[in-house]
Amino acid sequence: MAVQSLRTDDCIEEVIAEYSNMIYRLAFAQMKNKHDAEDVFQDVFLRYISKSRVFESEEHRKAWLIRVTVNRCRSLLSAWFRKAEPLDETMVFEIKEDNDLFEYLTLLPQKYRSVIHLFYCEDLSVRQISEILNAKESTVRTWLTRARSILGKKLKGGFPDE
């Protein structure tokens, strides 16, 4: 049975509308600043538009977009070896605790930020994350455990302004 493509030119705008928040949040969590996140965001959707990929399902399309986002972030980070800019103050969070938590997340190494974001913000399973990041499931579980441990230690002292 032939696989039917889910990609048609008339659905590009719908795909961008559906996944734009997810892609931007993931890029921002990895890059730690608005400008680089916007660059990654644009690159991901330019690649989506320019490639004639055949997606077997919406889950396959979502996984592809996440994978391209993670790869693009890694590529930019490894190419620049630069000190990250401070938290972009224009990023608005609904409540103060979200902003404080984001600051703690930016202190995590990139691989830990990736798994935490994909697991908690995008509701992906360990299996899905392992496929996207090309890592063993046991490695993803270890990264999640270590990230939780680091965050737990940092949060134990309370939020910075308390």
pLDDT at res. 95: 42
Q: How far apart are CA 19 and CA 34, in angstroms?
A: 17
The pLDDT mean for the chain works out to: 78
- How far is residue 38 CA from its own chain's centroid? 13
pLDDT digits (tens, 9 = 90+) for 18-41: 999 999 999 998 888 888 999 999
Which percentage of the chain shows pLDDT scores above 70?
Answer: 76
- What is the distance, to the nearest Å, from the Cα of residue 46 to the centroid of all Cα atoms in its chain? 17
Q: What is the pLDDT of residue 89?
A: 47
Query: What is the amino acid identity at position 152?
Result: G
Predicted local distance difference test score (pLDDT) of residue 45: 92
Residue 95 has φ and ψ, to the nearest 5°, of -130, 155
Q: Higher pLDDT residue, 9 or 38?
A: 38
Residue 104 has pLDDT above 90, yes or no: no
> Is the pLDDT assigned to residue 5 strictly greater than 60?
no
- What is the set of domains in the chain, with CATH numbers? 7-90 (1.10.1740), 92-162 (1.10.10.10)
In the three-class reduction of DSSP (H, G, I as helix; E, B as strand; rest coil), residue 161 is classed as coil
- Name which of 118, 111, 91, 161 is nearest 102 in CA terms: 91
The per-residue pLDDT for range 40-89, each reduced to its tens digit, is 999 999 999 887 778 888 999 999 999 999 989 888 877 554 544 554 54
> Per the confidence metrics, is the pTM higher than 0.75?
no
Contact between 107 and 91 (Cβ < 8 Å) = no
CA torsion angle for 30, 32, 36, 37 (degrees, to 10)?
60
